[in-house]
Amino acid sequence: MPLANLKDQFAFPDDIIYFNTASFSPAFKSVENAGIVAVTKKSRPDYFQSSDLFEPVSELRKLFAKVIDVEDYNRVVTIPSVSYGMANVANNIILKKGDEILIAEEQFPSNVYIWKTLADKFEAKIVTIRQPQQIENWNTEILKAITTKTAVVAIGQIHWANGYIFDLKAIREKTSKYNALLIIDGSQSLGALPFSVKDIQPDALVCAGYKWLFGPYGCAYAYYSDYFDNGEPIEQNWSIRLNSENLAGLTKYQNEYKPLAQRYNAGECASFIYVKMQIAALTEILRINTNELQDYCNHISLDALNKLNKLGFHTDSSQIRAKHLFGIKIPKTIDLDHLKAEISKANISLSYRGEYMRVSCHVFNTKSQFETLVKTITSL
């Protein structure tokens, strides 16, 4: 569907310039309606059937499998958070003393703390690949750091603060050479930037559902490769066991898990409100061509970013960063508190991450909104 046709599908006020999808996405009207309908059904629990515990979840997993280009949706599970998904990953990795876990500098904490805990457990080492002075060399530095000591590379598809695109294909090739695992956090890219599990072949992929996948806060997704087929989940809920659909036979306790990654599904993953909203959200996302979205975001932002660069607010080259999320480096001469106050006064919503203003845009944003951002900053 043409992107222009999606702009009217959001329940969104006209007086706010929202450049903050990277933090929390607004709701499609269809997602809002799905949530309202699901909430009203809470008043009639007699309407629910045992199939409601399983069939909607299967539908949701099939949709996410399409988003990430996976043929077998049984490799996909629904979870409450990225930290939950990463915990299942770390719970099934055994390291040797001196092994190395590679991460990028200033990754999001949910993709850092778990690896520090794992490293401490096995007396392994965290190796942080810092952003070089010439940021375009970051991928080169990561690839150089992958050696025979590397056991895990845990990284995003892009950097969450400045949008730098990590070369996952080259990283996968190097990790495969040294039998290292590649664990990807797709929270700031899936749904907005092209991605294919078939192409990258990660060992695991975990993604928040409330950002670029437009679901409610408190939902996430995970893909687990065959490396984790016989792993131990971090919880033992009843629904991950074989034949759990037979509610009358639940006390005939089952030792076997459901096939493939289904053992990692979270307890109560059938959340009757969230699942309906997530299904509506992923249905909308699958109507969006991510290449077209990148082109659109580049089109509406490029002129404004060129003007800001001349004012000393630097943005990295569009060749090495995402177009839907990018950092604008704030000059040291600018009073940050004053900058924040003026941007807020202009009804512009964006984030601040380190030395960057983080701007994230989507189909509901326009070129004129970026011009307003330029005028606001110029007025300083």
CB contact at 8 A, 186 and 156: yes
Distance, CA of 220 to CA of 213 (rounded, Å): 9
98, burial (CB in 10 Å: exposed 0-12, middle 13-18, buried 19+): exposed
Distance, CA of 61 to CA of 67 (rounded, Å): 10
225 and 343 in a single domain? The answer is: no
Q: Tell me, what CATH number does 343's domain have?
A: 3.90.1150.10
221 and 351 in a single domain? The answer is: no
Who contacts 346 (Cβ-Cβ below 8 Å, separation ≥6)? 17, 372, 373, 376
40 within some domain: no
69 and 153 in a single domain? The answer is: yes
| Mean local confidence (pLDDT), 222-231 | 97
Is the predicted pLDDT of residue 355 greater than 90, yes or no? no
- Of 245, 267, 285, which residue is a domain's last? 285
- Residue 3 — very low, low, confident or very high, per pLDDT cuts 50/70/90? confident
CB contact at 8 A, 245 and 102: no
- Residue 21 — very low, low, confident or very high, per pLDDT cuts 50/70/90? very high
Domain span at 294? 3-28+288-378
Q: Tell me, what CATH number does 192's domain have?
A: 3.40.640.10
pLDDT in tens, 251-277: 999 999 999 999 999 999 889 899 999
339 and 239 in a single domain? The answer is: no
37 within some domain: no
146 within some domain: yes
| Mean local confidence (pLDDT), 88-98 | 98
- Residue 307 — very low, low, confident or very high, per pLDDT cuts 50/70/90? very high
Q: CA geometry: angle at 363 spanning 23 and 2, to 5°? A: 145
What is the number of structural domains in the chain? 2
- Of 227, 258, 285, which residue is a domain's last? 285
35 within some domain: no
Buried b (16+ CB within 10 A) or exposed e, 205-240: bbbbbbbbbbbbeebbbbbbbeebeebebeeeeebb
Who contacts 101 (Cβ-Cβ below 8 Å, separation ≥6)? 95, 115, 118, 119, 124, 125, 126, 127, 150, 151, 152, 153, 154
Distance, CA of 213 to CA of 236 (rounded, Å): 28
The residues facing 35 across adjacent strands are none
Q: Where are the alpha helices (DSSP H) in the chain?
A: 29-41, 55-67, 82-90, 113-122, 138-145, 168-177, 197-200, 274-285, 290-310, 336-345, 367-378
| Helical packing angle, 29-41 and 274-285, nearest 10° | 160
Who contacts 124 (Cβ-Cβ below 8 Å, separation ≥6)? 95, 96, 97, 98, 99, 100, 101, 118, 151
306 within some domain: yes
297 and 335 in a single domain? The answer is: yes
What average pLDDT does the structure give for the chain?
Answer: 94
Distance, CA of 365 to CA of 363 (rounded, Å): 5
34 within some domain: no
Whole-number pLDDT of residue 4: 64
227 and 347 in a single domain? The answer is: no
Whole-number pLDDT of residue 2: 65
- Dig out the tokens for 154 from the structure: 């845990």
Whole-number pLDDT of residue 107: 94
274 and 334 in a single domain? The answer is: no
- Of 236, 252, 285, which residue is a domain's last? 285
Q: Are strands 150-156 and 100-104 parallel, antiparallel or unpaired?
A: parallel
**Residue 359 φ then ψ, to 5°:** -110, 130
303 and 177 in a single domain? The answer is: no
Whole-number pLDDT of residue 11: 74
Share of the chain above pLDDT 90, in %: 87
Is the predicted pLDDT of residue 12 greater than 80, yes or no? no
The edge-to-edge listing of strands for the beta sheet with 150-156 is 76-79, 220-224, 204-208, 181-185, 150-156, 100-104, 125-129
- Dig out the tokens for 353 from the structure: 């991450």
- Residue 9 — very low, low, confident or very high, per pLDDT cuts 50/70/90? confident
pLDDT in tens, 55-66: 999 999 999 999
150 within some domain: yes
Whole-number pLDDT of residue 291: 97
Amino acid at 323: K
Whole-number pLDDT of residue 286: 96
Q: What is the DSSP string of 156-171?
A: ESB-TTT-BBP-HHHH
187 and 320 in a single domain? The answer is: no
112 and 220 in a single domain? The answer is: yes
Is the predicted pLDDT of residue 1 greater than 60, yes or no? no
| Mean local confidence (pLDDT), 30-34 | 95
Q: Give the number of other CB atoms < 10 A from CB of residue 251.
A: 5
Distance, CA of 265 to CA of 255 (rounded, Å): 16
User: DSSP code of 362?
Assistant: -
pLDDT in tens, 169-203: 999 999 999 999 999 999 999 999 999 999 999 99
| Mean local confidence (pLDDT), 346-371 | 94
Whole-number pLDDT of residue 248: 87
162 and 249 in a single domain? The answer is: yes
243 within some domain: yes
pLDDT in tens, 125-156: 999 999 999 999 999 999 999 999 999 999 99
311 and 173 in a single domain? The answer is: no
Distance, CA of 155 to CA of 107 (rounded, Å): 8
